[in-house]
Amino acid sequence: MKYTIPKDTLQGMLAKVQGFTERKSTLPILSHVLMETSDDKLRLKATDLHTSIQVISSCEIKEQGACAISAKSLYDVVRELPDGKIDIWVEDHTRAHIHTENNYIKMNVMDPEEYPVIDFSLAQEGFHVPVHIMKPMVERTMFSVPSQAEGETKYTLNGALLTATQEKKGSYLEMVTTDSRRLSVARYEIDQPVEMGEGIIIPRKGLQEIRRLMDNREENASILLTRESIFFVSEDTRATVRLIEGKFPDYRSVVNLETYPTCTRVNAHELLSVLKVCVAMVSDISNCVRFSFKKDRTLIFANNPDQGEVDTEIAADHNGEDIDINFNPRYVMECLVYIDGEAHIYLKGPQGPCMITDGEKTDCKWVIMPMRV
């Protein structure tokens, strides 16, 4: 392998892949980046076995080839080199030579055959989803993926289920997460149908990475979905995450609006600020707020013998029986944040689930299980 590349370009590429290497793994090669050429392009690949990334750039290729080289050392070296062109060549899989006008550096490399295989070729049947749809979908559901500390043993719950549906009205993407105490569903319309079978489950870590990549506002960025994988794609970058296999629990019945006979409509912002006060009052041990849904008003009561109590009433539009029900206030707050104006709170009874929506504005639903008193 032999090529010439401007320092800035290589440094930029290395900076992008740095975060995806893994230095603490039992596989030493994961701290390396895979450097390979194809035609007139240089590709850098890195993976921590959770997220894999590839950055491409055109450069002057003199001899095709590949090698695996320490990502951090190479980055540290390149950063210190003077601006201008860098010549790089690798002799028989053992040594890389990095050459500028006055510098001559040799670095050990590893056999590219030992590098984990990552397929970045984009499938033809894939479907591009714009970031402005994917991003809110992730944000509105991610918080109810169980944290690692919870040690959820049902492993399919440790991620978000992403499915595609096709209805008469149009085609939809749907993302669902649950920690079995609450469940979040975000559904967004897309402009053409996509075939995803039973859907894919994106693990918590992968979801975070995809969100971070979307936050970087790269040019022409989009998400590409296929039956079996999810890619982040931009001008020069491709990234993919390793998925969870298995069956996500059946959640359809709990989000069926028709099974909720009672509904209260209340200003989301107002309810949110009352709950913020409650949270300041309740402790970790007794993390419980009572909601009394009545005709024309909702009463909120929180009580902590060590601190004091909150007893507040807000105006509401209530249909159905009066219901007293207890919730962990944080669960309610986490979804109210995403509701502008009126929140619709659907109920079955004091021991049954509660579903919160923003009316008809978007197609997001949050189901929360109450606390038994």
Partner 1 sequence: MHHMWKNIIGHTAQVDQLRGYSVSEKLPHAFLFAGMLGVGKSLVAREFFKALNCLNSRGDPCDACRCCVKVNAKTHPDLVEIIPSAAWIKVESIRDTLAEIGLKPFEARMKCIVIEPAEQMNKASANALLKSLEEPPHHTIFILVSHKPHLLLPTIISRCQVLRFTPVKASIDEDASGDAALTRITSGIPGGIAGVDRESFLAVRTEVLAIFSGIDAADLSGRYFPKDTADPKGMAPVLLTVVEAILRDILVIGHGGNTLLNEELKDISLKPLSYPDVEETARCIRELRRGAMENINLRVAFTELFILLSQFSAR
Partner 2 sequence: MNKIFALVDCNNFYVSCERVFNPSLAERPVVVLSNNDGCIIARSNEAKNLGIRMGHPLFQCRDLVERHRIAVFSSNFSLYGDMSHRVMDTLARFTPEMEVYSIDEAFLSLEGVCSDPEDYARRISRTVKQWVGIPVAIGIGPSKTLAKAAARAAKKHPAHDGVFDITSCREETLSGIEVDDIWGVGRRYARFLRGHGIVSALDLARAPDAWVKKHLTIEGLRTVMELRGISCMPIDSAPAPKKAIMCSRSFGRKVYSLEELQEAASAYTSKAAEKLRRQGSAASFIQVLLIEFPFNHGFPKCAVSSLKIPVATAYTPELSGYAKTLIERIYRPGPAYRKVGVLLSGIVPRGQVQMNLFHPSREGPKELALMNTLDRINTRWGSGTIGYASSGFSRPWWMRQEKRSARFTTSWAELPLVKAS
Instruction: By CB under 8 A, name the one of 39, 83, 167, 245 that touches partner 1.
Output: 245
CB of 111 to partner 2, least distance (A): 44
Nearer to partner 1, 117 or 285 (CB): 117
Token pair for 210: 């995809």
Q: Which of 43, 117, 25, 35 is nearest to 74 (CA)?
A: 35
Q: How many residues belong to the chain?
A: 373
Interface positions with partner 2 (CB under 8 A): 151, 153, 178, 180-183, 249, 251, 254, 285-288, 326, 328, 351, 353, 367, 369-373
Q: Toward partner 2, which CB reaches closer, 88 or 254?
A: 254
Pick from partner 1, partner 2, none: which does 244 bind, CB < 5 to 8 A by kind? Answer: partner 1
In a 3-state reduction of DSSP, which class is residue 328? coil
Q: Interface with partner 1 includes 114 (CB under 8 A)?
A: yes
Residue 203 in contact with partner 1, rule: CB under 8 A: yes
State the DSSP H helix or E strand holding residue 138, giving kind and residue range, or none if neither: helix 131-142
Report what 203 binds from partner 2, partner 1, none; CB cut-off 5-8 Å by kind.
Answer: partner 1
Q: Does residue 98 sit in helix, strand or coil? A: strand
What CA–CA distance (Å, rounded) separates 276 from 269? 11
Looking at residues 16 to 35 of the shown chain, list those that interact with partner 1 (rule: CB under 8 A).
27, 29
Minimum Å distance from CB 330 to partner 2?
Answer: 11
Helices (H), 204-286: 204-215, 268-281
Residue 219 Cβ, how far from partner 1 at the closest point, in Å?
Answer: 30
Contacts of partner 1 in 139-178 (CB under 8 A): 148, 151, 153, 155-156, 158-159
- Closest contact distance (angstroms) between CB of 168 and partner 1 is 34
**Residue 243 engages partner 1 in binding (rule: CB under 8 A):** yes
Q: What is the distance between the alpha carbons of residues 61 and 12, in angstroms, rounded to a whole number? A: 18
Number of residues near partner 1 (by CB under 8 A) = 23
- In this complex, which beta carbon is closest to partner 1, that of residue 66 or of residue 98? 66
Select 9 or 156, whichever has its Cβ closest to partner 2. Answer: 156
C-beta closer to partner 1: residue 115 or 331: 115
Is 120 exposed, middle or buried (CB count within 10 Å of its CB: 0-12, 13-18, 19+)? middle
Q: Contact with partner 1 (CB under 8 A): which of 44, 96, 230, 244?
A: 244
80/114 with CB nearer partner 1: 114
Residues 111, 65: Cα–Cα separation, whole Å: 11
C-alpha closest to that of 53 among 213, 280, 207: 213
CA neighbours closer than 13 Å in the CB half-sphere of residue 91: 5
Distance of alpha carbon 190 from alpha carbon 201, whole angstroms: 19
Contact 54, 67 (CB under 8 A): no
Tell which positions 316-335 bind partner 1, by CB under 8 A.
none
Tell whether residue 107 is a contact of partner 1 (CB under 8 A).
no
Q: Which of 39, 92, 113, 284 binds partner 1 (CB under 8 A)?
A: 113
3-state secondary structure of 30: helix
Distance from C-alpha of 366 to C-alpha of 177, rounded to nearest angstrom:
10
Closest CA relative to residue 307, chosen from 286, 282, 274, 279: 282
The token pair at 67 is 């090698």
Nearest CB to partner 1, comparing residues 40 and 119: 119
Interacting residues with partner 1 (CB under 8 A): 27, 29, 49-50, 113-114, 116-118, 148, 151, 153, 155-156, 158-159, 201, 203, 242-246
